Chain A
Amino acid sequence: MIVLTVNGARHELDIEPETPLLWALRDEIGLTGTKYGCGIAQCGACTVHVDGQPVRSCSLSVDDANGTQITTIEGLSPDASHPVQRAWIAEDVPQCGYCQTGQIMAAAAFLKAIPNPTDADIDDNLTNICRCGTYPRLRAAIHRAAALARG
């Protein structure tokens, strides 16, 4: 039995231990805000926080996630009030929107580690793919989120 604690709720799952966390979140637990994009940890659309660290959930088995605390986009805030989400709304970042939940989870973890990032910090750390090319607004939103978090 796999035990996952997701957004504070405990889930006991009778699934194969090699199942990627992504598919357990989406198909077993029903949290579809975490997206499938590539399956090989290239695009970051599936980014969640595992014990506070950003993880590409398509490439982490539930066995390796067993017993951890997992946060998905649905658990980032109850009302889109996380500074990163507020910044994303203010900068109107999303276009098609498919990669954005992963972008937001990556940015939220990044800002926790580096609260006052430079552009070079952003370039070095945020590698999620966006096909709509929202990068210019995404960069502005990260800086805005950092400012919001500082208060």
Chain B
Amino acid sequence: MGHIDTALSRRTFLVAAMSAAGGLAIGVSIPGFAGAAPLAGGAPWNNDQGAGAGEVNAWIVIDPDDTVTIRCAKAEMGEGVLTSMPMIVAEELGCDWTKVRSEYVSPNRNMREKMVYQGMLTGGSSAVRASRPYLQQAGASARARLIQAAATRWNVPAAECEAADSKVTHKPTGRTINYGALANDAAKVTLAKEPDIKTPDQFTLMGKSQARLDTKVKVTGEAVFGIDVRLPDMVYAAVVMCPVPGGQVKSFDADAVRKMRGVISVVPVPNGVAVVADRFWRAKQAALALPVQWNPGAGAGTSSAQIREDYRAALKGPLENAKSVGDAGKALGADKARLVEALYEVPYIAHATMEPLNCTVHVQPDRVDIWMGTQAPEITTGLTAKTLGVTPDKIFVHNCYLGGGFGRRAVNDELLQALAVAKTISKPVKLIWTREEDMRHDRYRPQAAIALKAALGPDGMPTAIQAQTAVGSILKGLKGILDFPMGPGVEPMAVEGLVNLPYAVPNLRVDAVLKDTHVPTMFWRSVGSSQNAFAVESFIDELAHAAGQDPYQFRRTLLAGKDDFLKVLDTLAEKSNWHEKLPPGKGRGIAIHESFGTIVGQVAEVSVDAKGKVRCERVVVAVDCGHVVNPRNVEMQMESGVIYGLTAALYDEITVKDGAIEQGNFDSYQMVKLADAPKIETYLALSGGSKWGGIGEPGTPPIAPAVANAIFAATGKRVRSLPFSNTDFSRGV
């Protein structure tokens, strides 16, 4: 089936699905935009059918009208991959960017065709870093083959031809052929040698801001998130889970709800019970009414106050050494050492993606179809194969737009429950977590207590720094789902941001103890750096003040010789007017942190009023990610990272009472809103060279310490635990 046919079939699917459900066909493209802008479709998934007409290679399909479809193997959760990945391919392909559309690759085809799309996991801010070379190669290879196809048609040497703007030109005669007329021939060309890919100095598309391809479908309501999938005969499931994480169902009384309108069945699922009904609202009402007895398990009876004490106690040892340079113990014990010590604490926090977790599954005798937003279609396929006992070639994962990911959508807890329901019913079933289930059954950013200690020399500069962290393990809870190759030593996520301390300190020691509770933990945007940057960058500020030095200059001295860090720092100082005095009640704080290959520095300007209300008014961001694919997207991700981190810094903690998570919705888990959002300015301070850094996460770590340091500058009060809303900053009371 050709590409146009496949595009139509995807559209037809939606129309048919919606009509069958009595709804309107919103999946069709909207008139008035055809050809006006590059696009991603409302339903982003591929139809799994494999190579068709116009497919030059697995990544690129060119239609006769020169429309170029470029496929993306990563999941779009806001970070911009449906635009940045195609930009990398298009850079080499030499196509007209205004005729590019993007869609996901097929996970099933990736498996069928021996990983033709390589790894599909989206996480660790790795999309550009990991896939840029092979995406450039895919674009370059297609371009060379389009040129060869034209040369063959003209019976001229390929060397006499060049390609740009979606056409091949025979230089001596000026003849041209459009890509659309060459695509099928190009697909058959075998090159003697794969072409070289461009170096950054040769880029013409990358490095220039481009509008996102998925904007239009996201302002019309066309974009299909997992929760929006509608299929003929589809039924819905709502779940209830034990209020205490890790608890199990003891018994439930299905008969009590079976007669409620629309209820079809009550099905035990992993970690809970699902009620299946003809509509979600009815399923949810029945689930709320379902009498369930729980075995709350080992977590019952615990509380946040106790957990906090336990983490503090764990710092007393034993600890495992993660890094040792010089002899920090000796330097800290030296007679004349001036010691500075501080304990920083962070709570569990939830991902709280705007789209609550959900998954739609249709189990049929010969195939299993899954519609959801997943950061890891391979994991989705693998878990499905294992759970249902079917071979992966029969599993079709239709990845949707992700209504936020931030790490949460990498392990697919919702999938396991949907599979448990779907195997009991021949119809497609859509299982949705309510906001309350989503918040109370997250896998949270680990709680931590981080003790820092430094010795200052006669010049005020640290001669030794010791960092000790008691923190939950992320990897232990993921065994069997997301198995990382683990070397010996401390789990890297626990100490990232500590072991890679950029400052020149002759003696450095980092120790860790992994302390787990019944509360499950996982990757949360920027992972270990989210808490460790708060500790380290607050502490460096404390050292600067102890030494009587300016925090920017203090960092500058400690980063001497590191030109990339210095460029970021200097950009910050200049753009934030660092040396300009602020009125009373206001303060500036600075922080800099490298994560996922990118250095981000931030200066936060904060006001604290007499009542103690903290307001972050302005944030200046300087970023060094080496090179940039889409500058506008870097800006957007810096803004996003700042606000995501600011919400956590100002407001959020997940607390435990009698083993249960107390927060359930946005009334008890506050978010930064428009009125609280600072003005954010982003400046690129690129070091270039061979460096390509990530951008989805590195904007998050510096904001909490930048704000903490600004609060100190404004009030003289040092806040060492998150969130700041737990500390009283009021004056004159």
Q: Check if A and B associate.
A: yes
Contacts of B215 in A (CB 8 A): 88-89, 92-94
Contacts of B174 in A (CB 8 A): none
State whether A124 touches B675 (Cβ < 8 A).
Answer: yes
Residues of chain A from 10 to 41 with CB closer than 8 A to chain B in the complex:
15-16, 19-20, 23, 26-40
State whether A38 touches B666 (Cβ < 8 A).
Answer: yes
State whether A74 touches B32 (Cβ < 8 A).
Answer: no
Residues of chain B from 643 to 659 with CB closer than 8 A to chain A in the complex:
643-644, 646
- CB < 8 Å: which of B32, B222, B642, B673 contacts A129? B673
State whether B279 touches A28 (Cβ < 8 A).
Answer: yes
State whether A92 touches B665 (Cβ < 8 A).
Answer: no
Contacts of B18 in A (CB 8 A): 30
Contacts of A78 in B (CB 8 A): 30-32
A19 to B277, CA, bound (A): 14
Contacts of A19 in B (CB 8 A): 281
Contacts of A20 in B (CB 8 A): 281
1/0 contact trace for A118-146 toward B, CB 8 Å?
00001110111111111111110000000
How many whole Å from A47's CB to the nearest CB in chain B? 12
State whether A92 touches B220 (Cβ < 8 A).
Answer: no
Q: Which of B55-63, B350-358, B559-567 contacts A (4 or more CB under 8 A)?
A: B350-358
Nearest A residue to B358 via CB reads A36
A31 to B261, CA, bound (A): 23
A97 near B: Cβ within 8 Å?
yes
B78 near A: Cβ within 8 Å?
yes
State whether B665 touches A33 (Cβ < 8 A).
Answer: no
State whether B22 touches A136 (Cβ < 8 A).
Answer: no
1/0 contact trace for B668-685 toward A, CB 8 Å?
000111110101100000
A4 near B: Cβ within 8 Å?
no
A104 near B: Cβ within 8 Å?
yes
A132 to B80, CA, bound (A): 12
B205 near A: Cβ within 8 Å?
no
- CB < 8 Å: which of A80, A92, A98, A133 contacts B643? A133
State whether A98 touches B221 (Cβ < 8 A).
Answer: no
State whether A38 touches B665 (Cβ < 8 A).
Answer: yes
Contacts of A100 in B (CB 8 A): 218-219
1/0 contact trace for B116-130 toward A, CB 8 Å?
000000000000000
B624 near A: Cβ within 8 Å?
no
State whether A37 touches B640 (Cβ < 8 A).
Answer: no
State whether B680 touches A73 (Cβ < 8 A).
Answer: no
Whether A27 touches B403, Cβ cut-off 8 Å, given contacts A78-B30, A130-B354, is: no
Nearest B residue to A86 via CB reads B219
Contacts of A127 in B (CB 8 A): 673-675
Residues of chain A from 53 to 75 with CB closer than 8 A to chain B in the complex:
72-74
A35 to B354, CA, bound (A): 9
B53 near A: Cβ within 8 Å?
no
A36 to B23, CA, bound (A): 18
A116 to B175, CA, bound (A): 55
B366 near A: Cβ within 8 Å?
no
Whether A132 touches B26, Cβ cut-off 8 Å, given contacts A89-B219, A95-B80, is: no
- CB < 8 Å: which of B24, B401, B665 contacts A40? B665
A27 to B79, CA, bound (A): 29
State whether A30 touches B665 (Cβ < 8 A).
Answer: no
A20 to B216, CA, bound (A): 28
Contact count band on A: 35 or more
State whether B214 touches A97 (Cβ < 8 A).
Answer: yes
State whether A126 touches B674 (Cβ < 8 A).
Answer: yes
Contacts of A34 in B (CB 8 A): 221
Count, chain B residues at interface, CB 8 A: 72
- CB < 8 Å: which of B221, B227, B356, B679 contacts A72? B221
Q: From A73, A99, A127, A131, name the one whose CB has the most chain B CB atoms within 10 angstroms.
A: A131
Whether A132 touches B22, Cβ cut-off 8 Å, given contacts A37-B354, A94-B219, A98-B354, is: no
State whether B219 touches A132 (Cβ < 8 A).
Answer: no
B223 near A: Cβ within 8 Å?
yes
Nearest B residue to A77 via CB reads B220
Q: From A36, A40, A78, A96, name the one whose CB has the most chain B CB atoms within 10 angstroms.
A: A96
Whether A27 touches B281, Cβ cut-off 8 Å, given contacts A33-B222, A97-B78, A124-B675, is: yes
State whether B220 touches A42 (Cβ < 8 A).
Answer: no
B404 near A: Cβ within 8 Å?
yes
Whether A27 touches B640, Cβ cut-off 8 Å, given contacts A32-B221, A80-B33, A96-B404, is: no
Contacts of A79 in B (CB 8 A): 30-33
How many whole Å from A121's CB to the nearest CB in chain B? 11
Nearest A residue to B402 via CB reads A96
A9 to B675, CA, bound (A): 36
How many whole Å from A84's CB to the nearest CB in chain B? 8
A39 to B30, CA, bound (A): 30
Q: From A16, A32, A94, name the one whose CB has the most chain B CB atoms within 10 angstroms.
A: A32
- CB < 8 Å: which of B642, B666, B674, B679 contacts A43? B666
A99 to B671, CA, bound (A): 13
Residues of chain B from 12 to 26 with CB closer than 8 A to chain A in the complex:
18, 21-24, 26
A122 to B673, CA, bound (A): 11
Whether A95 touches B640, Cβ cut-off 8 Å, given contacts A123-B674, A131-B353, is: yes
State whether A129 touches B671 (Cβ < 8 A).
Answer: yes
A81 to B674, CA, bound (A): 24
B523 near A: Cβ within 8 Å?
no
Contacts of A73 in B (CB 8 A): 220-221
A24 to B589, CA, bound (A): 49
Whether A31 touches B667, Cβ cut-off 8 Å, given contacts A80-B219, A89-B219, is: no
A88 to B261, CA, bound (A): 41
State whether B639 touches A137 (Cβ < 8 A).
Answer: yes
B225 near A: Cβ within 8 Å?
yes
A123 to B403, CA, bound (A): 24
Whether A101 touches B667, Cβ cut-off 8 Å, given contacts A27-B280, A30-B230, A79-B32, is: no
Nearest A residue to B677 via CB reads A135
State whether A81 touches B32 (Cβ < 8 A).
Answer: yes
- CB < 8 Å: which of A28, A30, A104, A131 contacts B644? A131
Contacts of B219 in A (CB 8 A): 80, 85, 88-89, 93-94, 100-101, 104
- 6 A-B residue pairs with Cβ-Cβ distance under 8 Å, sorted by A, are A32-B224, A35-B354, A38-B666, A129-B673, A135-B677, A136-B639
Instruction: Apart from A27-B279, A29-B23, A123-B674, list 14 A-B contacts with CB within 8 A.
Output: A20-B281, A26-B228, A27-B236, A92-B211, A93-B215, A97-B225, A126-B674, A127-B675, A129-B666, A131-B352, A131-B353, A131-B404, A135-B639, A136-B639
A contact residues vs B (CB 8 Å cutoff): 15-16, 19-20, 23, 26-40, 42-43, 45, 72-74, 78-81, 85, 88-89, 92-101, 104, 122-124, 126-139
Closest 6 CB pairs of A and B: A30-B23, A33-B221, A133-B643, A98-B403, A97-B218, A95-B78
